[in-house]
Amino acid sequence: MKLFVGLGNPGGTYAKNRHNIGFMAMDQIASDHGFAPWKSKFQGDITEGRLGGEKVLLLKPGTFMNRSGQSVQAAMQFYKLEPGDVTVFHDELDLAPGKCRVKQGGGHAGHNGLRSIHGHIGEAYARVRLGIGHPGHKDKVAGYVLHDFAKAEEVWLDDLLRGLSDGAPQLADGDAGKFMNAVALRVAPPRSSSSPAQKGGKADVPKPAPPPEPETATDTRNPLQKLVDRFR
């Protein structure tokens, strides 16, 4: 059994915040893959289903971001899971919007949700880092992550969430490479190969019309003038 954890803050006020992209990922996966209805348990919301050949739990901690570890630890203890069975989906300031990276273990880089999880279960869990971009200055970070995604960001956000859902079965099976390929097909689909230029060749360019043949003047000389001109 695997445990996927999406990080965010509970309540409608925060539902569309950048900080809640982990919750959004869990909702997308649950909806697309026919998971059971969400239940309130382990100080959060949890649902159960299958991804590929793996039984998977999806968890959205309801303890607020900086206490996420309490909910994660409670679910792990109940199901007798190890940190290696856990994958956490979270917002990442250091990645460009729409980018996604998978990481195994390591530090929390100041992320309050990861910091809390570190404190409760250690660092040997996997993370799916979801890029939201950086506001440009550290003093603006708190307001930035606790603000809703802008209207202009909805397209890449939808593509990313659908890509995460597409690749979720591969991630549950432990194939991070195929998971990343599935995400990439959504956020950066290959170009259409319908035209010669897009196949790597050159598009047909109309050839220029050939220059007109020079006109030949009509010879109006009589035979005697032609003979005389030959001996000049």
Quick check: helix, strand or coil at residue 148?
Answer: strand
For residue 11, count CB atoms less than 10 angstroms from its CB and return exposed for 0-12, middle for 13-18, buried for 19 or more: exposed
Per-residue pLDDT at 204: 45
Place of tokens 């003093």: 139
- pLDDT tens for each residue of 166-179: 999 999 999 999 99
Whether residue 165 is contained in a domain is answered as: yes
The predicted model gives 149-162 an average pLDDT of 96
Domains identified in the chain, total number:
1
Annotated active-site positions, please?
Answer: 19
Whether residue 121 is contained in a domain is answered as: yes
Whether residue 163 is contained in a domain is answered as: yes
CATH value at residue 56: 3.40.50.1470
Whether residue 198 is contained in a domain is answered as: no
Whether residue 229 is contained in a domain is answered as: no
- Mean of pLDDT over the chain: 88
Enumerate helices (H) and strands (E) in the chain, giving the number of each. Answer: 7, 7
The residue range of the domain holding 16 is 2-187
Whether residue 194 is contained in a domain is answered as: no
Whether residue 93 is contained in a domain is answered as: yes
Q: Which pLDDT band holds residue 113 (cuts at 50, 70, 90)?
A: very high
Whether residue 210 is contained in a domain is answered as: no
